[in-house]
Amino acid sequence: MALGNDRTARRRVDARSSAQRITAAGRTVLGRGEGSLEQIAAEAGVGIATLYRHFPNREAIVRAVLEDILETDLLPLIERAADAPHTRQGLKDIAVRLLDLITEERGLVTFASNFADVAVDVLQRFTSSLHPLVVRAQREGEVRPDLTAEDIPHFLVMAVAGLALPGTPPSLRARFITLLFDSLNPAGATPLPPLLSGEDDLRTAVGNVTRT
Question: What average pLDDT does the chain have?
Answer: 81
- If asked whether residues 35 and 116 sit together in one domain, one would say no
**pLDDT tens-digit readout, 107-146:** 888 898 888 889 888 888 888 888 888 999 999 898 889 8
pLDDT in tens, 14-24: 557 889 999 99
**CATH number reported for the structural domain that contains residue 195 in this entry:** 1.10.357
Residues 45, 77, single domain; the answer is no
Which residue among 16, 32, 56 closes a domain?
56
If asked whether residues 67 and 167 sit together in one domain, one would say: yes
Q: What is the pTM of this model?
A: 0.74
CB 41 within 8 A of CB 51: yes
Owning domain of residue 193: 57-211
Helix ranges (H only) for the chain are: 2-31, 37-44, 48-54, 58-69, 75-81, 87-104, 108-111, 115-124, 127-139, 151-163, 170-182, 203-211
Same-domain check for residues 160 and 101: yes
User: What's the CA angle centered on 103, arms 207 and 96, to 5 degrees?
Assistant: 90
